[in-house]
């Protein structure tokens, strides 16, 4: 009995090693550009893809955060290219992609991860706050993709978008955020029809409530910051899901139990979902359950 158990454990270990080897080989000699890569999910994705053998460039607006991210990755033995860029600016995105291609000679993976969240009713927002969120969350994905299209088609690469539960159902105090995340789904679906025949892959990851960095910015009505919500997954877990979506060239991944529940409920009856959310707000159910 003990001998059979050891043999079974050895076979399981062998299968795990083989699976890890195959996963790593997929990313060998591949290059990836991750926007919003200086912290949070973006940094975790850069670490995971680097661990699997990819050469990575990370882009963000803040030079200091980029340097901290570079040093953090270097401490793990990963050498990455850092690019200071603003995804809401088309020229900056074109330069960002050009610099990544100039450094690595090609671009195989683009992860459109940069974005900001919000927590405010629409009536409390002004036009400038709405425009800024659309520029960052939507145009900030369109501009890099537009600049990288030739590389992605020529190399049969992958472009991946970071979405959220807000891209599956409507959520109060997140109207513009929901609008941008729903828009990404339509953009990705249409883009897949355009570049899929060229061998390129388009994927969307619908992230649930994820562990946040302390400086994570959630925009309030006055443009300030409020604390992010609860966490159901770690950044490392989410990063592995990104890598697996790219490796298997899946079109979508819905993360966390609450994300899967939201997707199912939204498909079965959007009206009931809306009524449940309204009821929750009226009764302050979240406060009773201790959910911020």
pLDDT at 224 over 90: no
What's 209's DSSP letter?
S
CA distance 85 to 35: 9
Domains located in the chain, CATH noted: 21-288 (3.40.50.720)
pLDDT at 95 over 60: yes
Place of tokens 């425009």: 131
Residue 110's pLDDT band (boundaries 50, 70, 90)? very high
Let me know: does 178 contact 115? Beta carbons within 8 Å.
no
pLDDT at 288 over 70: no
- Tell me, yes or no, if 143 is annotated catalytic: no
pLDDT of the residue at 74: 98
Residue 23's pLDDT band (boundaries 50, 70, 90)? low
Burial class from Cβ neighbours inside 10 Å (0-12, 13-18, 19+) for residue 30 reads: buried
pLDDT of the residue at 222: 53
Query: What is the maximal distance between C-alpha atoms in the chain?
Result: 71
What DSSP element (H or E) covers 56? Answer: strand 55-60
- Rounded to 5 degrees, φ, ψ at 80 are -120, 155
pLDDT of the residue at 218: 54
pLDDT of the residue at 289: 37
Average pLDDT taken over every residue of the chain: 84
Mean pLDDT of the 10-18 span: 56
CA distance 168 to 60: 26
pLDDT of the residue at 290: 41
Indicate the range of 1-15, 88-102, 142-156 predicted with least confidence.
1-15
**Tokens coding 116:** 């900001």
- Rounded to 5 degrees, φ, ψ at 139 are -65, -30
Residue in 27, 143, 161, 177 annotated catalytic: 177
b/e code 48-77 from CB counts within 10 Å (16+ = b): bbbbbebbbbbbbbeeebbeebbebbeeee
pTM of the model: 0.82
């Amino acid at each position: 009995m003990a001998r059979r158990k050891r043999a079974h454990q050895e076979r399981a270990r062998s299968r795990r090693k083989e699976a890890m080897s195959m996963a790593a080989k997929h990313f060998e000699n591949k290059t990836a550009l991750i926007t919003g890569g200086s912290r949070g999910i973006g940094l975790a994705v850069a670490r995971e893809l680097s661990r699997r053998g990819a050469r990575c460039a990370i882009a963000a607006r803040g030079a200091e955060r980029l340097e901290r991210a570079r040093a953090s990755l270097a401490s793990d033995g990963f050498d990455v290219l850092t690019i200071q860029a603003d995804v809401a600016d088309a020229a900056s995105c074109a330069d960002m992609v050009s610099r990544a291609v100039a450094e690595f000679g090609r671009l195989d993976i683009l992860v459109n991860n940069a974005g900001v969240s919000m927590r405010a009713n629409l009536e409390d927002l002004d036009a400038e706050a709405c425009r800024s969120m659309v520029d960052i969350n939507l145009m900030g994905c369109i501009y890099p993709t537009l600049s990288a299209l030739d590389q992605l088609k020529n190399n049969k690469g992958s472009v991946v978008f970071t979405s959220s539960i807000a891209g599956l159902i409507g959520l109060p105090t997140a109207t513009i955020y929901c609008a941008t995340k729903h828009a990404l789904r339509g953009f990705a679906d249409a883009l897949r029809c355009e570049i899929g025949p060229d061998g390129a892959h388009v994927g969307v990851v619908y992230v649930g409530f994820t562990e946040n960095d302390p400086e994570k910015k959630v925009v309030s009505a006055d443009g300030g910051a409020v604390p992010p919500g609860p966490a159901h997954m770690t950044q490392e877990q989410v990063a592995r899901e990104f890598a697996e979506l790219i490796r298997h060239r899946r079109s979508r991944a819905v993360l966390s139990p609450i994300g899967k529940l939201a997707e199912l409920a939204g498909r079965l009856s959007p009206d009931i979902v809306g009524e449940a959310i309204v009821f929750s707000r009226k009764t302050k159910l979240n406060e009773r359950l201790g959910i911020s």
